[in-house]
Structure 1
Amino acid sequence: MAVIDNSLEARGLTLGYQTRTIVDRLDAVVPEGRVTVIVGANACGKSTLLRALAGLLIPSAGRILLGGEDVRGMSPKKLARRLGFLPQAASAPDGVTVAELVARGRFPHQRFLQQWSSDDADAVNGAMRATGVDGLRERAIDELSGGQRQRVWIAMLLAQQTPVMLLDEPTTYLDIAHQMEVLELCRRLNRIEQRTIVLVLHDLDQACRYADHLIVMRGGRILRSGAPAAVMSEEVVAEAFGLRALVQPHPVTGSPMVVPIAPVESIDREVLE
């Protein structure tokens, strides 16, 4: 069986909304079979970049390549068999149950003459077990807490069974224990099934802990990228986030740990006064 190339990259990418440019002439490579985490201050372009990687935004310049093929030339169903995307704020129609929503992840794999199969059922059941929502299968989505809803959406993405998964702030609405569960699940999918995972996260410690490859953005461009230990520094935190901080090894994991001190502007003001 031929090996399918699932490499993902942006070349000369420029993105924007109406007359405002968000991402400007950006080049990025997502290492295949690794966990990549994108971080940056609010409005730096990280979610815009992720949507473009998913083929949901048409660039004004540049290309997104999946396996060397421009995603704009792929049919929606073909792209959805290879790449799954979970947005920040997903919504479902009123009355849809957990099982029904997770089952929608199987749409790209269904054929005209065979609408449902045992493979579909296995994928849906496995995804719900993996995310801990199996006991909610008959509940309506609009009856669930924010954290429960988020896990259901992740289950739908898992049921899609794509080799590349893009998740925009997947820990939103989750308490710290469930945040860890989601990130550990992403790491297991990567390590055991070799899925390529791309996450947008706000928590820098979590980003450094779970990323193989870290992308730090500032002002629509990539400030630094590479292994977390090589990328995350006090200078990078100050430049990307306007924050003075200590960066030191985590006492348990050894990954970079960011200890905030104060916004750079506050420090400058104190010096001036």
Structure 2
Amino acid sequence: MSDSMVAEGLTLRYDDRTIVDHLDVTLPEGRITVILGANACGKSTLLRGLARLLSPASGRVMLGGDDVRSFAPKALARRVGFLPQAATAPGGVTVAELVARGRYPHQRLLQQWSPEDADAVNRAMRSTGVAGLRDRPVDELSGGQRQRAWIAMLLAQETPVMLLDEPTTYLDIAHQLEVLELCRRLNREQGRTVVLVLHDLDQACRYADHLVVMREGRVLATGAPEQVMTAGLVAEAFGLEALVQRHPVTGTPMVVPIAPLSSADDEAIA
């Protein structure tokens, strides 16, 4: 069964405001894709559209060749998992209880909990390094621990496609790398398709197999970081003059900011 995701002519709106406009994009199966772009370019909205949390005004999202709107909710939740930005749990919920919520799509009416569910939860907690925190309330954890607990819930859902919206937000640099290394391990060892929205260009180039760069609700460029990340692209997508060099350790593209590019409005005000 294929789990490739493709958006075709996708338009997404909030009320009368168009955020994503007739967008076409393919997310490579079994790879790590990072979606990049300036603030308010439509990154998170696109991710919500892929997860069927927003209904298209036009166009469609295809999963394995089928329109995602054709799936029953539980059937889709067994194939696509979504972690929103800055997810919060109810007060007092423990790590084990949070991770167990990922099993809901697999539960049946007459059997609410099974040995398979317990095994999936335990595997997810071990994979993310939170098994020793299973009885701790989520709201007492550090930022990095909390994010790993949420990713464990996503893992327990056992979906081949994982969509994560800015999973490194509010984390210090050490915990950012911890989360990104975990995402890479899940992809490399378990073959999961991982789609991340990130802001840090260097981290995106380091961890992505495939980049999707957006501007004003449209796709500006797609491809491997070595092909896509150029000074011209940085200028066009982010309004930033920059040098793009090879990282001395990872060998991936590294963006060295120089200065914001002045817009016509800025020049007129000056």
TMscore range, shorter length: over 0.9
Asked if structure 2 preserves the Cα contact closer than 8 Å seen for 1:244 and 1:261, the reply is yes
Distance in 2, Cα, partners of 1:206 & 1:180? 8
Higher deviation after alignment, 117-126 or 210-219: 117-126
What whole-Å deviation, never above 9, does each CA across 1:52-78 have from its counterpart, x for those lacking one? 001110010000111111111111100
Match of residue 144 from structure 1:
141
What whole-Å deviation, never above 9, does each CA across 1:31-70 have from its counterpart, x for those lacking one? 1111110000000000000000011100100001111111
Distance in 1, Cα, partners of 2:168 & 2:127? 16
Match of 1:176 among 173, 176, 189: 173
Q: Which consecutive segments of 4 or more residues in structure 1 shift more than 6 A?
A: none
Asked if structure 2 preserves the Cα contact closer than 8 Å seen for 1:147 and 1:173, the reply is no
Alignment of 1:1-273 (within 5 A): 4-265=1-262
Higher deviation after alignment, 112-121 or 33-42: 112-121
| SS of 2:262 mapped into structure 1 | helix
- Counterpart of 1:139, as a letter, is R
- Counterpart of 1:206, as a letter, is Q
Gaps of 5+ in 2: none
Distance in 2, Cα, partners of 1:130 & 1:213? 24
Tell me by how many angstroms 1:269 deviates: 7.6
Distance in 2, Cα, partners of 1:174 & 1:131? 16
Distance in 1, Cα, partners of 2:113 & 2:18? 43
| SS of 2:93 mapped into structure 1 | coil
| SS of 2:211 mapped into structure 1 | strand
Distance in 1, Cα, partners of 2:195 & 2:140? 29
| SS of 1:156 mapped into structure 2 | helix
Asked if structure 1 preserves the Cα contact closer than 8 Å seen for 2:211 and 2:223, the reply is yes
Asked if structure 2 preserves the Cα contact closer than 8 Å seen for 1:216 and 1:223, the reply is yes
Tell me by how many angstroms 1:246 deviates: 0.6
Scaled by the length of structure 1, the TM-score of the pair is 0.94
| SS of 2:78 mapped into structure 1 | helix
Instruction: Summarize the Cα distance change of 1:100–1:158 in structure 2 as closer, same or farther, 3 Å threshold.
Output: same
Asked if structure 2 preserves the Cα contact closer than 8 Å seen for 1:234 and 1:247, the reply is yes
Percent identity, aligned pairs only? 76
Asked if structure 2 preserves the Cα contact closer than 8 Å seen for 1:150 and 1:173, the reply is no
Scaled by the length of structure 2, the TM-score of the pair is 0.95
Distance in 2, Cα, partners of 1:88 & 1:36? 17
Tell me by how many angstroms 1:89 deviates: 2.1
Tell me by how many angstroms 1:227 deviates: 0.7
- Counterpart of 2:209, as a letter, is D
How many residues were matched structurally?
Answer: 268
Distance in 2, Cα, partners of 1:210 & 1:226? 13
Distance in 2, Cα, partners of 1:90 & 1:143? 14
Distance in 1, Cα, partners of 2:116 & 2:184? 24
Asked if structure 2 preserves the Cα contact closer than 8 Å seen for 1:16 and 1:22, the reply is yes
- Counterpart of 2:230, as a letter, is S
